[in-house]
Amino acid sequence: MPQRETTLPGQAEGLSLQRRPVRVVAVASGKGGVGKTCVSVNLAVALAGAGQRTLLFDADLGLANVDVLLGLQPRYTLADVLEGRCTVDDAVIEGPRGLAVVPAASGKRRMAELSTGEHVGVVRAFSEMRRDVDVMIVDTAAGICDSVLTFGQAAQDVVVVVCNEPASITDAYALIKVLSRERGVARVQVLANMVRGADEGRELFGKLVRVSERFLDVTLSHLGSVPHDEWMRRAVQRQQAAVEAYPGCASSRALADVARRIGQWRPPQGARGPVEFFVERLVTSAGVSA
């Protein structure tokens, strides 16, 4: 039986009047421990620092920690939005460099057990936002749970973070396979993290390309390589983004370069389907330019 879509508080009160399309990038990984959230946080802070109006959505719904990594103390979280206590705009907290953050709750089992319809409702709740946004980074959970698949499907771009370990490579391929076959994701960006150099990153990317070309109808692109860096660990301990705390370190320079590439991507041209973040803005924008 198909899941019913959940209407979140405020959705029936009217759509955002903003017509600007929003570039939505979902950051995912096949397994935990590959630095996915650090990548999401640093890309978002770097984009904000480059002048992009950036929104960071913590979509690891049951084990959220973006606010912890940035040393923020949210008054509301996505759990409050779901329970009708506030809107998505109310839940936004300000991070470094003008970054806007939508935090989720940590340790709430209910948030980790949302239905497919409720995940779609979360996606559609963002259409109610009044904030002017250029790009949204979605830090998904690790693995292939339904929230990861729905949020990946609802984004214009999916970045899969992988490190040079057999389990990480195997699980990254599994994630790409499920996104492609079950959710129709045809293009995936691969970011090699915690590697010893650019050559290792390209080799890691090549492994994924070879197996994907044989078995999947999906296009992989190498977004970049981020070296293993002790300064990243120190930034985590300081509850700051490395690109802000240690902008000159190797990992910060690599992530800033990736952020520049993302900032140069063309804005989305119209909607691809009904399950898409800020879909009304995409439809309106396409109608205006037609």
pLDDT of 156-211, one tens digit each?
A: 999 999 999 999 999 999 999 999 999 999 999 999 999 999 999 999 999 999 99
Task: Specify the CATH superfamily of domain 21-263.
Answer: P-loop containing nucleotide triphosphate hydrolases (3.40.50.300)
Cα gap 93→72, rounded to integer Å: 8
Residue 19's pLDDT is what?
Answer: 57
- From 141, 156, 165, select the one nearest 25 (Cα to Cα): 156
Give the 3-state secondary structure of residue 276: coil
Write the single-letter amino acid at 22. Answer: V
Q: What percent of the chain shows pLDDT beyond 90?
A: 80
Strand order in the sheet with 135-142: 93-94, 100-102, 54-59, 135-142, 23-29, 157-162, 187-195, 219-227
Residue 270's pLDDT is what?
Answer: 67
Angle in degrees, CA 179, 180, 182, rounded to 5: 70
What tens digit of pLDDT does each residue of 20-54 get? 789 999 999 999 999 999 999 999 999 999 999 99
Residue 283's pLDDT is what?
Answer: 59
Among 95-109, 111-125, 225-239, 262-276, the range of highest mean pLDDT: 225-239
2 versus 230: the higher-pLDDT residue is 230
Q: Can you tell me which residue has the tokens 């996505």?
A: 78
* pLDDT tier, 13 (very low <50, low <70, confident <90, very high otherwise): very low
Residue 271's pLDDT is what?
Answer: 66
pTM of the full structure: 0.90
Q: Name 57's bridge partners.
A: 102, 138
Report helix angle 146-154 to 116-125, nearest 10.
40
Structure tokens at 49: 């620092």
Average of per-residue pLDDT values in the chain: 90
Cα gap 233→254, rounded to integer Å: 15
* pLDDT tier, 12 (very low <50, low <70, confident <90, very high otherwise): very low
Residue 267's pLDDT is what?
Answer: 76
